[in-house]
Structure formats: C-alpha cells, structure tokens
C-alpha cells in the first residue's frame, strides 16, 4: 500500500469516525430533547385535577375582585351596578357558567357542603334582611378560608361589592342557610 493510499485511508477513517461521533452525539441530544419535551408536555398537559380546578377557581375569584367597590343596584347585573345574584351571575357568566338569575335559583345548583368543608369558589346562601325569613335571599362566593376563617365576596345592599368575614359576623351568621360547591366542569341544576 502506497503512502498516498495510507494517508487517504487514515483520512477516510478519521472522516467516518468524526461523522459517526457527531451523529451519535446529535441523536443523543435529540433523544434528550425529545425526552425533556415529553416530560415537560406531560407535566403541562396532565396537571393534577385539583391543581387545575384550583387555578380555575383562582381566576374566577381574581375576576370577581376586579369589581370591588361597584355600587349595589337592585336588579343590576352589569359593572355599573349589581345586586347579589346579578354579581355572581355576571362573574360566572364571564367563564361560560350559566346559572339562574335569582339567589334562590342559584341555590339549586351544586352539591351542599358543610361550613367546615368550605373552599374558595363555593357559594354561601343567606336569608335576606329579614332574619326570620325561611328562604334564600342573598348569595356570596367564598374567596378565602384560612384556619377556619371564611371570607366571601358579594354585592351588599349598603356597600356594593365587598369582601366580608363570616366568622363572628352578627349580621351574616344568624342569616346563614347553606353552602354549595359547583361542578365547574358541567353546571346543571339538580333534577327534581
């Protein structure tokens, strides 16, 4: 074998080794990218149900808080003025959730939950101004529960949209009737 052939052979072997090494490294990097992408996609597209629901409820509450200070208006259902059910209806409607227009009608949706089980996004129902009434006259949405302390957002007749504390309230505690948890996936009133 001549010197020229040897040089060409060494060069060719070097070229193929270099090309093979780059292909292997390239494939390893591509596999790593694919694996990383698959892991990332899986984490993003398959969140825990409670996490995604919690984020969804957080968005609803954040939207509701934008209207703090909006005045009360009997029969109102727009940002220029809300009554209690008009406020809840407007907020939920923004997320494609259709509810009844009245507080007693909204009280027919969802699953009843105990006060001790309340979570943000749950709805609380109260008697109206007459503490001796038996029916639902007011609705509010829970925005926070910390160490059993419940805060809710609602449209108050005297103060408009505001966040109030439930625990220890001399007005709301005696008027409390029940609380409901909505099925944010498919809201339907119960069949009678």
**Among the options 154, 156, 166, 182, which is catalytic?**
154
**Percent of the chain residues past pLDDT 90, beyond the cut:** 64
Together in a domain, 8 and 94: no
User: CA separation (Å) from 76 to 7, 40, 95, 172, 192?
Assistant: 90, 45, 19, 22, 29
Of 27, 46, 65, which residue is a domain's last? Answer: 46
51: pLDDT confidence band, cut at 50, 70 and 90? low
The 10s digit of each residue's pLDDT in 84-125 is: 999 999 999 999 899 999 999 999 999 999 999 999 999 999
Query: Is 156 contained in some domain?
Result: yes
CATH number of residue 108's parent domain: 3.90.1720.10
Together in a domain, 106 and 145: yes
Q: For residue 136, which phi and psi values (nearest 5 degrees)?
A: -70, 130
Whether residue 5 lies in the annotated active site: no
Going by C-alpha positions, the residue among 124, 121, 159 that lies closest to residue 139 is: 124
The 10s digit of each residue's pLDDT in 150-184 is: 999 999 999 999 999 999 999 999 999 999 999 86
Together in a domain, 22 and 72: no
- Give me Rg for the CA atoms of the chain: 30
Query: Is 23 contained in some domain?
Result: yes
Distance, CA of 179 to CA of 123 (rounded, Å): 5
Count of positions (residues) in the chain: 192
Distance, CA of 171 to CA of 35 (rounded, Å): 58
Query: Is 187 contained in some domain?
Result: no
Predicted local confidence at residue 58, as pLDDT: 94
Together in a domain, 113 and 37: no
Together in a domain, 81 and 4: no
Query: Is 90 contained in some domain?
Result: yes
Query: Is 56 contained in some domain?
Result: yes
Together in a domain, 16 and 63: no
Average pLDDT, the chain: 78
Together in a domain, 105 and 163: yes
Predicted local confidence at residue 183, as pLDDT: 80
Whether residue 84 lies in the annotated active site: yes
**Among the options 109, 121, 138, 182, which is catalytic?**
138
Q: Count up the domains in the chain and report the number.
A: 2
Give residue 17's domain range.
1-46
Whether residue 149 lies in the annotated active site: no
Query: Is 176 contained in some domain?
Result: yes
Handedness of CA 64, 67, 71, 74 (dihedral sign): negative
Together in a domain, 41 and 60: no
37: pLDDT confidence band, cut at 50, 70 and 90? very low
**Mean pLDDT, residues 66-72:** 98
Predicted local confidence at residue 185, as pLDDT: 58
**Among the options 84, 91, 107, 179, which is catalytic?**
84
Together in a domain, 74 and 63: yes
Going by C-alpha positions, the residue among 176, 177, 181, 178 that lies closest to residue 165 is: 176
The 10s digit of each residue's pLDDT in 8-22 is: 444 444 544 444 444
Query: Is 191 contained in some domain?
Result: no
* Residue 188 pLDDT > 90: no
Distance, CA of 19 to CA of 11 (rounded, Å): 12
* Residue 46 pLDDT > 50: no
Predicted local confidence at residue 35, as pLDDT: 31
Together in a domain, 134 and 145: yes
Together in a domain, 167 and 76: yes
Instruction: Confirm whether pTM is higher than 0.75.
Output: no
Together in a domain, 106 and 153: yes
Query: Is 189 contained in some domain?
Result: no
């Amino acid at each position: 074998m001549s010197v020229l052939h040897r040089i060409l052979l060494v060069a060719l072997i070097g070229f193929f080794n270099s090309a093979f090494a780059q292909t292997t490294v390239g494939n390893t990097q591509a596999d790593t990218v694919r694996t990383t992408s698959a892991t990332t996609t899986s984490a993003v597209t398959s969140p825990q149900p409670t996490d995604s629901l919690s984020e969804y409820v957080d968005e609803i509450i954040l939207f509701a808080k934008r209207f703090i200070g909006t005045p009360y208006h009997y029969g109102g259902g727009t940002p220029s003025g809300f009554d209690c059910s008009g406020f809840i209806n407007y907020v939920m409607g923004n997320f494609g959730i259709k509810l009844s227009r009245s507080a007693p009608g909204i009280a027919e949706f969802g699953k009843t939950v105990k006060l001790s089980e309340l979570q943000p996004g749950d709805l609380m129902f109260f008697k109206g101004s007459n503490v001796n009434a038996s029916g639902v006259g007011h609705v509010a949405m829970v925005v926070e529960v910390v160490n059993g302390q419940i805060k809710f957002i609602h449209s108050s007749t005297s103060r408009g949209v505001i966040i109030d504390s439930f625990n220890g309230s001399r007005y709301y505690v005696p008027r409390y009737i029940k609380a409901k948890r909505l099925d944010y996936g498919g809201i339907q009133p119960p069949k009678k």
